[in-house]
Amino acid sequence: MKKEELGELIMASEDAMYHVAKTLLYSDADCADAIQEAIVKAFSKLYTLKKDAYAKTWLMRILLNECYSVMRKEKRVVSLEDYRQEEKAEEQKDYSDLYEAIYRLPEEMRLSVTLYYLEGYSVREIATMMETTESAVKNRLARARQRLRNELAERAAQ
């Protein structure tokens, strides 16, 4: 893959990269830092990409590693209430209960759900990005669906 093609891929993946970073980091500033570092690393490590067909998965894996790096450096917790306020300001949709339920999931489930349902990645691509097996991703998605189903049913009953 050429640098120009990588640049095009990054431009096409901009929204997906933001959503993935936001799933882990919450803060827009931290997201921007992680995305910027991931882009720099992608260009400098382009030679490590084995097949062009895996370029998007490879790029997302770099981003995930950068997000984890930011989390390790800062080791801080953002309150769910702060995040809800940011989220409501960004999106005025009727999905707020669903988004809140997703963000209360454990990190690995939340990331799997975001990548699969919101970003459209396949189970295989997610397994590659998260460095796990396809069956582990399927199990996380199934458990997440059950948790979301239960939580949303409880909210509806209230």
- Structural domain including 4 reads 1-78
Judgement on whether residues 64 and 121 belong to the same structural domain of the protein: no
Q: Is the pTM of this model over 0.75?
A: no
Question: Residue 134: what pLDDT?
Answer: 96
Judgement on whether residues 144 and 104 belong to the same structural domain of the protein: yes
Place 100 in a pLDDT band, splitting at 50, 70 and 90. Answer: confident
Domain boundary among 78, 103, 118: 78
Judgement on whether residues 3 and 56 belong to the same structural domain of the protein: yes
Place 112 in a pLDDT band, splitting at 50, 70 and 90. Answer: very high
User: pLDDT digits over 63-92, tens only?
Assistant: 999 998 888 877 654 545 555 555 555 554
Mean pLDDT of the chain: 85
Judgement on whether residues 98 and 52 belong to the same structural domain of the protein: no
Q: Is residue 108 part of a domain?
A: yes
Judgement on whether residues 37 and 69 belong to the same structural domain of the protein: yes
- CATH number (domain holding residue 12): 1.10.1740.10
Judgement on whether residues 47 and 99 belong to the same structural domain of the protein: no
Tally of domains within the chain: 2
Question: Residue 75: what pLDDT?
Answer: 63
By the 8 A CB rule, do 35 and 18 touch?
yes
Judgement on whether residues 109 and 67 belong to the same structural domain of the protein: no
- DSSP notation for 71-137: HHHH-----HHHHHHHHHHH---TTHHHHHHHHTS-HHHHHHHIIIIIS---HHHHHHHHTS-HHHH
Place 6 in a pLDDT band, splitting at 50, 70 and 90. Answer: very high
Report the residue count for the chain.
Answer: 158
Judgement on whether residues 69 and 124 belong to the same structural domain of the protein: no
Place 94 in a pLDDT band, splitting at 50, 70 and 90. Answer: low
Domain boundary among 34, 54, 78: 78
Question: Residue 85: what pLDDT?
Answer: 57
Judgement on whether residues 71 and 109 belong to the same structural domain of the protein: no
Q: What one-character DSSP code corresponds to residue 45?
A: T
Question: Residue 82: what pLDDT?
Answer: 55
